[in-house]
Structure 1
Amino acid sequence: MNYYIGVDVGTTSTKAVLYDDQAHVLTTSKQGYTLYRDPSGMAEQDPEQLVAAVEKVIHNAAAQADLKQGQLLAVSFSSANQSMILLDQDFHPQSRVMTWADTRARKVAAKLKSSAQGKQIYLKTGTPIHPMSPLTKLMWLHETDADKLEQAAYIGDIKSYLFYRLFGVFKVDISIASCTGMMNINSADWDPEALQLAHVQASQLPKIVAGTHQEVGLRHQAQVKMEIPADTPFVYGAFDGALSNLGVGALSQDTVAITIGTSAAVRVVTDHPVIDPQQRLFCYAVDNGLWVIGGPLNNGGDVFQWAVEHLVDASAVKNEGIDAYALANEVIANVPAGSYGLIFNPYLGGERAPLWNANARGSFFGLSQLHTRADMLRAVMEGICMNINSVFKAVRELVGEPKSVTATGGFAQSAVWKQMLADVLNCPVEIPQSFESGCLATVVMAMKSIGQVKDLAIVDKFIGDKETYQPDAAIAAVYQQYQPVFEQVVTLLSPLYGRITDLQQANS
């Protein structure tokens, strides 16, 4: 038996999945690490913790493979995008890793976004102007700590740093590069105007390579820790969002992929760049010749978790011995669509698509003395779905009507939520059976990299059965009345988001 390992480097943990050569999952290993946060918006990782976690999970996964009777054909990577790390001349870290979740550049981003130059940069790079992008992170760092930036010899991301530690090379895959706000989507190279804004030189950044590009020849120290053959090919892969589409077989513009986990996303793959004149959506490379169009949302399952913690009757959970989430789904199912005229805007953590406003805040609209906690719980779930629908509508405007929608993520544990998503979107939603879609996609890229397959579409062979949720016409009609009100409330409140954020920070 031959093997592959897919590695998903995330914000708070790294996971490795061991597959056989038919893409069957054999074992999974996971290692967590700290995400350092503070009220300023900081969200950073320790690069040493992260490298150690990657080495450990690969070791643990490989230990379950019989390498005497088979071969580890490749290790391939998915990672969160839009991270940034400063390195010295010897590639030693001069900072922790600023993650996508770091919002300290929000004022710099807001100023750039409101300018003509900001729109021009977006049109050239496909990256919305937002504090998560390395472009605005670098602009913020130049403004607040210019000496630190000037002392950095190189600027990387977690994947380019990881590959340097493993192989001594400084490269980055095209999908991660295209998420930085500094790669020109037409030339597939670093954009001079964006680099000038960021106060960096192209020579300080990693070399851009294809997602199927591979490295061979592990450094001795890394090889010893992972206990795998030194000549095992390591494939760069792509960022996690792009691989989520690949992992569910959504590789053409007639299939939209939606993910609802802690956060959420709506994405569609095309064979050419598509730029949104209204700057609501991103346009990133998946690999050479493939592009992913869509929008990430900060607010998904984490908002529902907040609602369950604060709105579910704790005494009922304790007395009846029932799971809080099971109880929440039960009471939501007994409230009619529209929650008796209650709308929830789920912006508890700022928002990316479609607002791209780090200051966005949540609100209930229409709350009266007649509403109960059950109504509020349903309104929260509906608000998350309507927010996703706002991005889904923008994708449809730019790319066209999809033939199918595939949805994955933790939300799929709730039958109520799956049906609600179909009703709010007013289209059928397919839910694949459980599998590691991101890690599966990395393995398919590895198969292509080493010549085992010619086309990424082979992933369809490895995807399990799907269940389909059809929209209820009467309920969908209710949500079509509520959706415009949901969006109008956002429009009316948007001018106040910055003010309320300033007041919150002043009193924190």
Structure 2
Amino acid sequence: MAYVIGIDLGTGSVKALLVDKKGQTIIEKAKEYPLIHKQSGYSEQDPHEWVQKTADVLRELVQDFKGNVSEIEGISFSGQMHGLVLLNEKQEVLRDAILWNDTRTSEQCRQIYELAGKATLLEITKNPALEGFTLPKLLWVQQHEPDLFKKASVFLLPKDYLRYRMTGKINSEYSDAAGTLLLDVANKQWSEEICRLTGIDKNLCPPLVESHAFVGELTESFAKETGLSAKTKVFAGGADNACGALGSSILSEGKTLCSVGTSGVILAYEKSGDRDFGGKVHYFNHASENAYYTMGVTLSAGHSLTWFRDTFANGETMDSLLEGLDNVPAGSNGLLFTPYLSGERTPHPDSNIRGSFIGMDASHTRIDFTRAVVEGITFSLNESIEIFRHNGQEIKEIISIGGGAKNDIWLQIQADIFNAAIIKLKSEQGPANGAAMLAAYGCGWFTSWEECAEVFVSYKEVYEPIPENVERYRQLFEAYKKIYSQTKDISERLMDYRQK
């Protein structure tokens, strides 16, 4: 039997799946690592933690594996997007990585518009200048840590640094590079014009390959540390959302994905890179070559629910927190929540806005608040769906993965708020499954992505919208959409009072 490994380098943990030729997950391992919050708005991680925890999960996986390690033919990756890892000429890490959810770069985003122009930026990179992207981070380090920046010889994205440490080879690939604001998305090359206009040396950009490209084998030292064979083939991998789409069979027009992790994503397949959304949603290269996807993002999706549990139900499991969710009617007895704990991305690119509960009274209990959080996350995601529909996308079926797919009541809430059939997968491994598919395809197990998806992806259950709930939520959604504009000024006024 032959096997591949899919590694998902997430924001809070790394997960590794051992998958066989039938698409069955044989072993799953995961390890957590910490975030570093030096002050309000900062979010960093030590890249060495990624490497060590990945080595740990692979070593445990090999220890539990009953076969011969030579049967593990390939490894590929899914990774958190946008994070900045700077290396010097000796390929040593110069500073902690600045992550996708770091919001310190508002000034640099303004500078990018001044230097490059919004129209030029959207034409080339297909995306607006937002704090989470990589280019603003490069400019921030250049301006605030100039001596360190002068030592930089290349930048890497998180999973690309991990892959470098496993193979000794430096590369990036198109789906992750699309989230830097430095890639010419349609032409699949680093943009000389954007580099020139923003003052970034193009030589800092790593070589580009396809997501399924073979980039090397494991180094002897990494193989020895983990117990894997040094002959194991390593493939480039993809951005987490691209891999989530791949691992959910979002491979043709009309396919839509809802993914709830730390952040939340609504993602739709695009066959070309020439549609114009005016920067309202993200436009990235797919992990499937010569394909694209558009995407709306809720910054604090699963994070909002985790925050609520840790703050008001400390020590309880998520299942315990959500118990009784179906006993609360749609609309949470007149309570609304906006999930702006870390600012927002779509449709409000605003790093200063903060969340709120609206409509509280003495009759509300914890389960009302819990359902309001779940509904608020889903309302936020529905704003992206609304943009897609207004731009001609027909959305009737949505595959749901991540935290939102683990609870049947939440899946029904998605169906009712989105007014679409929600599909639950039999084996929901998200981006890690997409990473395993990249390794399988790279190893030559399949001749097309569709053939690969038939083996690796299967549906379990469909949740149809309930008409009376659809109408109720339609009215509530109109009220929800007013909260941003009516709390924006208040959030701005409270900025000086937040913990630094």
Range of TM-score over shorter length:
over 0.9
Structure 1's 27 and 327: CA in aligned 2 closer, same or farther, altered over 3 A?
A: closer
Work out whether 1:33 is the aligned partner of 2:33.
yes
105-114 or 445-454, which moves further after superposition?
105-114
* Corresponding residue of 2:430: 437
Deviation at 1:10, TM superposition (A): 1.4
Q: 1:393 aligns with which of 382, 386, 402?
A: 386
Q: Which amino acid aligns with 1:96?
A: D
Q: For residue 228 of structure 1, what is the aligned residue in structure 2?
A: 228
Measured at CA, do residues 333 and 259 of structure 1 come closer, stay the same or move farther in structure 2, by a change above 3 Å? same
- The alpha-carbon deviation at position 262 of structure 1 amounts to 2.9
> Contact (CA 8 Å) 1:129, 1:356: kept in 2 or not?
no
**1:38 Cα offset (Å):** 2.4
1:352 is matched with which residue: 345, 348, 351?
Answer: 345
Q: Post-superposition shift, 1:75?
A: 0.8
1:335 aligned onto 2:336: no
Deviation of 1:340 after TM superposition, in Å, equals 3.7
Question: What per-residue deviation string (whole Å, max 9, x for no partner) do you get for residues 5-61 of structure 1?
Answer: 111111222111111221211111222222211223222221222112222322332
2:62 touches 2:69 (CA, 8 Å); kept in 1? no
- Is 2:306 aligned against 1:305? yes
Secondary structure of residue in 1 paired with 2:236: strand
Please name the residue that 2:457 is paired with: 463
Q: 1:119 to 1:146 in 2, by over 3 A?
A: farther
Q: 1:235–1:223: structure 2 CA closer, same or farther, 3 Å change rule?
A: same
* Distance in structure 1 (CA, Å) of the matches to 2:399 and 2:76: 24
Looking at both structures, which has the greater relative contact order when contacts are Cα pairs under 8 Å and sequence separation is at least 6?
Answer: 2
Distance 2:168 2:483 in 1: 52
CA 1:352–1:387: 2 relative to 1, 3 Å: same
After TM superposition, give the deviation of residue 212 of structure 1 in Å. 1.0
SS of the counterpart of 1:148?
helix
How many angstroms does 1:498 deviate by?
3.4
Residue 109 in 1 paired to residue 102 in 2? Answer: no
8 Å CA contact 1:138–1:198 kept in 2: the answer is no
Q: Tell me what 1:80 maps to.
A: 80
Return closer, same or farther for 1:124/1:335 CA change in 2, 3 Å cut-off.
same
Does the C-alpha gap of structure 1 residues 275 and 281 become closer, same or farther in structure 2, counting only changes over 3 Å? farther
Name the counterpart of 1:138.
138
Contact 1:173-1:210 within 8 A present in 2 as well:
yes
Return closer, same or farther for 1:307/1:158 CA change in 2, 3 Å cut-off: closer
Return the letter of the residue paired with 2:293. V
Q: Describe the shift of the 1:220–1:269 C-alpha distance in structure 2 as closer, same or farther (beyond 3 A).
A: same
Distance 1:17 1:435 in 2: 12
Asked if 2 retains the 8 angstrom alpha-carbon contact of 1:252 and 1:268, the reply is no
Q: Give the distance between the partners of 2:107 and 2:497, measured in 1 at CA.
A: 15
Contact map agreement 1:275 1:282 (CA 8 A) in 2: no
Q: Distance in 1 between matches of 2:124 and 2:177?
A: 13
Once residues 324 and 446 of structure 1 are traced to their aligned partners in structure 2, the CA distance between those partners, rounded to angstroms, is 34
1:92-132 Cα offsets, whole Å, 9 max, x none, are 11111111122221332256468981343133112332111
Question: Structure 2: which amino acid aligns with 1:216?
Answer: G
CA RMSD, aligned part only?
2.4
Equivalent pair of 1:345/1:362 in contact (CA under 8 Å): yes
Show the counterpart of 2:183: 183
- The 5 A counterparts of 1:418-433 are 418-433=411-426
Aligned to 1:499: 493
Distance in 1 separating the partners of 2:67 and 2:369? 54
Q: Compare 491-500 and 425-434 and name the one that shifted more.
A: 491-500
Quickly say closer, same or farther: Cα 1:69–1:434, change in 2 above 3 A.
closer
CA distance in 1, matches of 2:294, 2:176: 14
TM norm structure 1: 0.91
Residue by residue, what CA displacement relative to the aligned partner does 1:259-314 show, whole Å, maximum 9, x if unpaired? 123321110122112555442211111132111211221122221233345556x9
Matched residue type, 1:344: F
Shift of 1:490: 1.2
* SS of the residue 1:36 aligns to: coil
Structural mapping, 1:62-461, within 5 Å: 62-68=62-68, 71-110=71-110, 112=112, 117-273=117-273, 275-287=275-287, 288-309=289-310, 325-326=318-319, 328-368=321-361, 371-398=364-391, 400-457=393-450, 458-461=452-455
Take 2:71 and 2:366, find their aligned partners in 1: how far apart are those partners? 56
SS of 1:267's equivalent in the other structure is strand
Contact 1:85 1:95 in 2 (8 A): yes
Secondary structure at the aligned position of 1:170 is classed as coil
- The one-character-per-residue Cα deviations of 1:454-499 (angstroms, maximum 9, x if unpaired) are 1111213232342111111011101111212211221233344333
Question: Does structure 1 conserve the Cα–Cα contact (< 8 Å) formed by 2:89 and 2:151?
Answer: no
Distance 1:164 1:346, change over 3 A: closer
Tell me how far apart the structure 2 counterparts of residues 434 and 363 of structure 1 sit (CA, whole Å). 35
CA positional deviation for 1:324: 6.4
Aligned residues of 1:263 and 1:299 also touching (Cα < 8 A): yes
- Tell me if structure 1 keeps the 8 A contact 2:217–2:234: no
1:481 to 465, 475, 484: 475
2:17–2:436: 8 Å Cα contact kept in structure 1? no
Equivalent-residue separation in structure 1 for 2:146 and 2:275 (angstroms)? 33
1:299-354 Cα offsets, whole Å, 9 max, x none, are 22221233345556x9xx9xxxxx66556544542332223433221211211222
- Deviation of 1:63 after TM superposition, in Å, equals 3.5
Distance change in 2, residues 1:16/1:187 (3 Å): same
Gaps of 5+ in 2: none
Q: Within 2, Cα distance between the matches of 1:115 and 1:215?
A: 35
Q: Which amino acid aligns with 1:29?
A: K
Given that residues 138 and 199 in structure 1 are in contact (C-alpha distance below 8 angstroms), is that contact kept between their aligned partners in structure 2? no
Query: Hey, what's the Cα distance between the residues in 2 that align with 1:57 and 1:443?
Result: 15
- The percentage of aligned residue pairs carrying the same residue is 26
- Give me the whole-angstrom Cα distance separating, in 1, the residues matched to 2:109 and 2:496: 16
TM (normalized to structure 2)?
A: 0.92
Partner of 1:320: none
Between 401-410 and 223-232, report the one with greater CA deviation. 223-232
User: How many residues are treated as equivalent by the alignment?
Assistant: 498
How far, CA to CA, are the matches of 1:113 and 1:398 in structure 2?
A: 25
CA contact (8 A) 1:274 1:293 kept: no
Report the Cα offset of residue 398 of structure 1: 3.0
Query: Are the equivalent residues in 1 in contact too, given 2:332–2:371 (CA < 8 A)?
Result: yes
Alignment partners' CA distance in 1, 2:358 and 2:188: 44
Kindly indicate whether the alpha-carbon contact (under 8 Å) linking 1:9 and 1:79 is maintained by their aligned counterparts in 2: yes
Please give the alpha-carbon distance, in whole angstroms, between the structure 1 residues aligned to 2:114 and 2:497: 22
Equivalent residue letter for 1:268: A
Task: Give the direction of change, closer, same or farther, for the CA distance of 1:448–1:484 in structure 2 (3 Å limit).
Answer: same
- Give, in whole Å, the separation in 2 of the partners of 1:158 and 1:461: 29
CA distance in 2, matches of 1:42, 1:278: 28
